[in-house]
Each structure stands twice: as structure tokens, then as C-alpha cells.
């Protein structure tokens, strides 16, 4: 999870990742590094981190057989499913922002060249989350 996240930072440059649900006008299409494998590698890194936490909790529960450990694990699973849904919505918004032909941020529009590059990128990198699958 962290390796993928830092790889994304290395490719995009420090401070260039947008905030989820932030209104931004896309200026470029990044198609190298992890972005050559999936369209939303930062969200994938977040999901891997949460799933890793869930697996760690499950291991702890299996060894201790504590009821409250099971309750925590189920609660964490619900949270992880909610976060995955949230990340999906964020990815949908980001893709819509690339395709808009209107103001994304007041007074700014996505350049036609950027939109065309993103359309081409989507054709090459079809996977949003898992390379070659989804």
C-alpha cells in the first residue's frame, strides 16, 4: 500500500495529488508508472492499506478468539466497504472532470487536448482498480 502510494507521489510530484471530491481543472494526463497499469492507483493504495488492516484484525481475532475482536473486525469490514464506495465515487468525479467541456473551477475549462489524451488513455488503460480486470 505505502509503496504504491509513494510511487504515485514520485510520478506526480509532491503536492500534485488532488483531494478527493475536490474541484480541480485537470491540466495533464499522467500515463507512466502505476498510472500505466490502472487509472486510479492512489485509491488502490488506500484500499490495499484498509484491506491490510482488516486482514491484521482477522489474524488477531483468530488467535485470541475474543468476541469483541470479531465485533471490531465486522465493524472494520463495514467501514472498508464504505470507503471503497467513497473511493469509487471520487474516481467517477475525477473522470467526469477530465471530460467536462464547461467550467470545472470557476473560469477554467479542461483543454480539448487534455480531454482527448484522457479518452485515449482510458482506451489504453482500461482498468480502474486491478490491471487487466476492473
* Whether the Cβ atoms of residue 13 and residue 39 lie closer than 8 Å to each other: no
C-alpha span between 37 and 8 (Å, rounded)? 12
Q: Residues 125, 38: contact at Cβ < 8 Å?
A: yes
**What pLDDT score was predicted for residue 49?**
95
Mean pLDDT to the nearest integer, 88-101: 88
Residue 108 binned pLDDT confidence (cut-offs 50, 70, 90): confident
> How much of the chain exceeds pLDDT 90, in percent?
48
pTM: 0.85
Amino acid at each position: 500500500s505505502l509503496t504504491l502510494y509513494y510511487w504515485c507521489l514520485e510520478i506526480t510530484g509532491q503536492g500534485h495529488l488532488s483531494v478527493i471530491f475536490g474541484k480541480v481543472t485537470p491540466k495533464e494526463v499522467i500515463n507512466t508508472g502505476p498510472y500505466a497499469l490502472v487509472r486510479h492507483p492512489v485509491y488502490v493504495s488506500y484500499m490495499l492499506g484498509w484491506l491490510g488492516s482488516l486482514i491484521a484484525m482477522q489474524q488477531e481475532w483468530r488467535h485470541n478468539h475474543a468476541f469483541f475482536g470479531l465485533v471490531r473486525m465486522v465493524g472494520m469490514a463495514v467501514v472498508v466497504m464504505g470507503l471503497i464506495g467513497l473511493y469509487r465515487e471520487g474516481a467517477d468525479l475525477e473522470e467526469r472532470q477530465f471530460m467536462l467541456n464547461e467550467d470545472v473551477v470557476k473560469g477554467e475549462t479542461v483543454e480539448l487536448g487534455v480531454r482527448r489524451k484522457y479518452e485515449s488513455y482510458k482506451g489504453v488503460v482500461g482498468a480502474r482498480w486491478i490491471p487487466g480486470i476492473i
